[in-house]
Structure 1
Amino acid sequence: MKNLKKFGFVAFAAMALVLSACSGSDDDGGSGSSLATYINAKVDGVQFKTTSFNGQSAGIATKQGSGDQQLIAISCTDASAVGDMEFNGMQVILIGQVAAGQTYQISPTSQSILAYTINTNGGGSNNNTEWDTDNCDGATGTVTVTSLSDTKIEGTFSFTGKKENDCSSQKVVTNGSFRGTFAN
């Protein structure tokens, strides 16, 4: 299951990169609330805000399966604070039964993942530096789903993500909010 989650994470990060590269001009995303899909948060006190291009979100959301086999993934890109072909990414990946009004504890023992990624030097997956809740002790978070329908999910989150190969390196993500309008 861990390999499936990693594959899903990389696939969504790549899709967000493709979406962010589709336009030559970018619009200010505002608070993100006008975008169909967004993630906003603070990473170690610095604002992460989903980028938009010509009014289109540099993010994607999908919902697959049902019950214990359900996968809901929201992946967004913030290209505002980095250079050419560099980006920051944020992912909220929920696996299992998900319901509105519920708060989920995320940790290395849960199936779900929260992640923050910095990608440099051309967008290849070998250039990712990732802090997530998947592998290290103390890498934990919470997700509260405030609304869920067949077409959209909304909620809030926070987490402390740690580097997979250096559990002493961490990023603290606070004041997180998200909306995912499902692409499928």
Structure 2
Amino acid sequence: MKKLSYILFALFSLSFIACSSDDSSSSSEDDNSLYVRFTANGQQYNFEAETITSLQRLVMGDEDVNDVYTRISLWMPVTPTTGNHTITDDLPSDDNLETLYNAELWIGDATYTGTVGTLTITDLSEEYVKGTFTFTGEDENGVTIAVTNGSFRAYR
């Protein structure tokens, strides 16, 4: 009976070791998180990504940063494709919904519409879209802002 107790104890102990956490694996936090990250005016931003789909796909992130509402919006076709896509300030129409890529940055009361830039889709899966972006935005007064080092991972 004593041998059986030792065997059961050893098996029970091994079951805890076999179920240990996989924290030391090679996957990083980014592999599982949703985010929109970028730099504007020297300030780095890191938001949780949200996705809204209607006539276009909107990937956005927003929050109050130092008591100032800040939001980034990346617009793309409902069925995006991998590769480099030009960001423009063209308005959506029936003719361009499947090819239009836009970007917008809100900082407080200022809204900067992307006038020139690139949105690159690097990965598409059944569930996620991932990529990078950079653009120059302009507000209604002609003030420009450079958005650099942009990256995102969001639900598709």
What's the TM-score once normalised by structure 2's chain length? Answer: 0.67
The answer (yes or no) to whether the contact 2:101–2:119 under 8 Å persists in 1 is no
Whether the 8 Å contact between 1:32 and 1:40 is mirrored in structure 2 is no
TM-score after normalising by structure 1: 0.58
Does residue 88 of the first structure (1) align with residue 62 of the second (2)? Answer: no
> Which residue does 1:76 correspond to in 2?
61
Whether the aligned pair in 2 keeps the contact of 1:32 and 1:49 (CA below 8 Å) is: no
The answer as to 2:141 corresponding to 1:166 is yes
Paired with 2:118 and 2:29, the residues of 1 have a C-alpha distance of: 21
Tell me, yes or no, if structure 1 residue 105 matches structure 2 residue 105. Answer: no
Q: Tell me, yes or no, if the aligned pair for 1:48 and 1:78 is still in contact at 8 Å.
A: no
| Aligned partner letter, 2:138 | K
Identity %: 21
Question: Which residues of structure 2 form unaligned runs of 5+?
Answer: 1-27, 92-99
Task: Tell me the matched-pair count.
Answer: 121
1:1-184 to 2 correspondences below 5 Å: 33=30, 36-50=33-47, 57=48, 59-64=49-54, 71-79=56-64, 81-83=65-67, 86-95=68-77, 97-100=79-82, 102-109=83-90, 111-119=100-108, 128-133=109-114, 139-163=115-139, 165-167=140-142, 169-182=143-156
Retained in 2: the 8 A contact 1:147–1:153?
A: yes
- Paired AA for residue 144 in structure 2: Q
Runs of 4+ in 1 over 4 A off after TM superposition: none
Which structure 1 segments of 5+ residues have no match?
1-30, 51-56, 120-127, 134-138
